[in-house]
Structure 1
Amino acid sequence: MPPRDYVRDITVRKCDKSAVFVTMKKDEYMEKMDNILSDPTKINKTIKDPMKSLKKRVSSMVTRTNKLQQEIKFPKVIGDYKPGYCYGTVKTHKSDNLMRLIISQMTSPTYKMDKILNDTLTLFIPTGYSLKSAVEFIDILRTTEPDKDIASLDAESLFTQFPVRETIGIILNNVYRSGRVPIPILEQSLKDMLATCTMEAPFLSYRWELFHQTDGVAMGSPLGVLFPNMHIVAVEIRTFIDH
């Protein structure tokens, strides 16, 4: 059995994109997480607990939106809520075993609204520029004969790098100005909801310090996949039109 001091000095973290677990020095884990949380362009430290005001704001949004339409119902914001919490998964497939920030918002008053917005807005991602899976891509290669070279490109730290405000604008354009039937929510209301869910939801660090993400969307949020998909598809459409 290892000495007690040794056990206190290690941490066990899940491997990124795998069911494997990684044992690493606790100091190393904390240092890498500190580096992520110290980026002032993406994450800000919060001194005052904003949960009371956030709950009131989300409750007001839900009440107002439900009153104006009947198709998309958001549940009432009732009960006790807590800030989300963050942790890191280890990118063993990358050099230096970098960390991926995960922010769980399941305890936040924004979480249920996040899920409904994600389910509703996913339908407005433009088709024709994305694939559902690697299997679909392989099937295309097997059944067609491309007349040009095929290249695979990777975006580094995609979830945390794309601009949230610009992406909210892209989402609004896809919903209200794409020629499709828009959702029965006022555009300004949807804009406020998306901004609140992505830039105002607080979370706790492993040191029990409060933060909130001001740009990018970390994995762990129900909107964490929707936002990058909307942004990347918009970039692909602009690239296709320009060329």
Structure 2
Amino acid sequence: MRVNEKLDTEEYHSKLDLILGDSSKFEKLSYNPIEEIKREANKTIEKINAAKNAVHFQIIIGDFSPGYVKTHKNGNPLRPSISQCPTLTYHLYSVAVSTEFLGKLKGSHTSYTIASLDVEFLFTNVPVGETIDLILERVYRDPSNPTLNIPEEALRNLLEVCTKKAPFTAHRGHTYIQKEGVAMDSPLGVLFANFYMGVVEERVFSRICRPDMYVRYIYDTFVMAHSAQDIETLRRMFEEYSCLRFTVEHSKDGRLPFLDVHISPITIGFDTSVYIKPTNLRLCLNGDSECPTRYKASTIKAYVCRALFRCSSWAATHQELDRVAQVLVNNGYSNRQVSREIKLAMDTCFDQRQDSLPSKHTLLASAPPIRAQLPEDKMVTQHPGLSGKAVYLYYSHSRIATLSWQVGEAHQGEIYKLG
């Protein structure tokens, strides 16, 4: 779906009807059970809160609307997502997730086969009852875990209230509950999906050897193995020991997009850069919009930090910043504002890395030789032999960073900003 296209209302409603018509996942109710569920949940919460040294939960107060369009896919399919921010059980749970992927690629063998595994509709296919049993088994019967001062039955009741008994009002005014699978916009949905996937991995890797590299972010998995057959065996085993279905995207000429990273093989290891989907509309917060200036600055900073953290070479970084600058100008930002904010954003992003390094220098990139663009379009290549000599990286004819080759204080081939 492009900028000037609209999804017809009836088409949107018919796609929602198709999703909600799956009786194995959703149940249409003849009444709104919110008050009934609220009383049941609060009764459990009051018992937990009354116990000495127990975890304290807030008494719940509190509704839902499903369906977001996937504009980046052909046919504009709907994502079966149910917003739970205003629901009565939303504040009972919260989940934070993060991933470290780029560091694992450094120094990997490019002779291996790489691919990505994707779970088809993971959230709506998570077996809720089985996952609750698995969570309780791990919490209460795994001796390596600390004792949880909540009765097992009470925790089970709360988990069921937050998943199986969360009513929502659909587009035609009818009330439904999702009786199987978890809502994508529920914080608990991420926990359930991640936990179930972890159990599936334990089952599979207890029977076959783990691939040379296996990195998963919720339902997207990067795999590096000796052959395509090994990856196919892994896919088949995942399906055998779960109720899920998996698809595989193999690399083309050794290149593969994974999340927002484009991976390309080089002599040693892999080169990485920012991956932009072909359907990306190049839209962002408009520079002429009525919002605080710090929101606009934050938009630019997010672009710059992504370029710095995803790109493994200054050539790729410079190319991405050129693209970002054009996107920002197209969205109402002035060239002067873009240049100023990119400089500030780069300084901020550099400073964010200082605490993670043992010395006062900040690691910027690891992909020698490094090219830095100077005014008058002159290019200078920095080699290990130029130890101690400063190189100035310019962007839009404005000096934004001072770099120095520190062979004696860092690994050869790494560029550091002086602290």
Q: TM-score, normalised by structure 1?
A: 0.77
- Choose the corresponding residue for 2:77, options 78, 90, 98: 98
Q: Deviations over 1:99-130 (max 9, x none)?
A: 002212233322222x2xx45xx7xxxxxxxx
- Choose the corresponding residue for 2:169, options 174, 179, 204: 204
Q: Deviations over 1:112-163 (max 9, x none)?
A: 22x2xx45xx7xxxxxxxx932xx2222011444885333100011110111
Find the residue that maps to 1:212 and give its secondary structure: strand
Q: Does 1:39 align with 2:3?
A: no
How far residue 227 of structure 1 moved from its aligned partner, in angstroms, is 0.5
The 1:61/1:206 distance shift into structure 2, 3 A limit, reads: same
Find the residue that maps to 1:152 and give its secondary structure: strand
How far residue 71 of structure 1 moved from its aligned partner, in angstroms, is 4.3
How far residue 92 of structure 1 moved from its aligned partner, in angstroms, is 2.7
| Letter of the structure 1 residue corresponding to residue 187 of structure 2 | P
Q: Which runs of 5+ in 1 are unaligned?
A: 1-12, 123-130
Q: Distance between the aligned counterparts of 2:4 and 2:39, measured in 1?
A: 39
Aligned 1:65-214 pairs, distance under 5 A: 65-77=48-60, 81=62, 84-113=63-92, 115=93, 118-119=94-95, 132-133=98-99, 136-145=100-109, 149-178=113-142, 179-214=144-179
Find the residue that maps to 1:225 and give its secondary structure: helix
| Letter of the structure 1 residue corresponding to residue 153 of structure 2 | Q
| Letter of the structure 1 residue corresponding to residue 67 of structure 2 | G
Q: Distance between the aligned counterparts of 2:34 and 2:138, measured in 1?
A: 31
The 1:242/1:61 distance shift into structure 2, 3 A limit, reads: same
| Letter of the structure 1 residue corresponding to residue 158 of structure 2 | M
2:64·2:87 contact (CA, 8 Å) conserved in 1? no
Q: Distance between the aligned counterparts of 1:163 and 1:182, measured in 2?
A: 26
Q: Distance between the aligned counterparts of 1:169 and 1:149, measured in 2?
A: 37
The 1:171/1:148 distance shift into structure 2, 3 A limit, reads: farther
1:176·1:187 contact (CA, 8 Å) conserved in 2? yes
- Match in the other structure for 2:199: 234
Work out which structure has the larger RCO, using CA pairs closer than 8 Å and 6 or more positions apart in sequence.
1
Q: Which runs of 5+ in 2 are unaligned?
A: 209-419
The 1:51/1:146 distance shift into structure 2, 3 A limit, reads: same
- Alignment RMSD: 2.4
1:91·1:98 contact (CA, 8 Å) conserved in 2? yes
The 1:177/1:151 distance shift into structure 2, 3 A limit, reads: farther
Q: Distance between the aligned counterparts of 1:95 and 1:149, measured in 2?
A: 29
| Letter of the structure 2 residue corresponding to residue 47 of structure 1 | S
The size of the alignment, in residue pairs, is: 207
1:69·1:185 contact (CA, 8 Å) conserved in 2? no
- Match in the other structure for 1:53: 36
| Letter of the structure 1 residue corresponding to residue 191 of structure 2 | L
How far residue 52 of structure 1 moved from its aligned partner, in angstroms, is 1.6
Bigger Rg, which one: 2
2:70·2:76 contact (CA, 8 Å) conserved in 1? yes
Q: Distance between the aligned counterparts of 2:4 and 2:27, measured in 1?
A: 29
Q: Distance between the aligned counterparts of 1:192 and 1:148, measured in 2?
A: 47
Q: Deviations over 1:198-217 (max 9, x none)?
A: 00111000111100000001
| Letter of the structure 2 residue corresponding to residue 198 of structure 1 | T
- Choose the corresponding residue for 2:189, options 214, 224, 229: 224
1:45·1:210 contact (CA, 8 Å) conserved in 2? yes
1:58·1:109 contact (CA, 8 Å) conserved in 2? no
- Match in the other structure for 1:127: none
How far residue 21 of structure 1 moved from its aligned partner, in angstroms, is 9.6
The 1:147/1:105 distance shift into structure 2, 3 A limit, reads: same
- Match in the other structure for 2:45: 62
1:86·1:101 contact (CA, 8 Å) conserved in 2? no
The 1:148/1:213 distance shift into structure 2, 3 A limit, reads: same
2:54·2:150 contact (CA, 8 Å) conserved in 1? no
- Match in the other structure for 1:125: none
Larger strand percent: 2
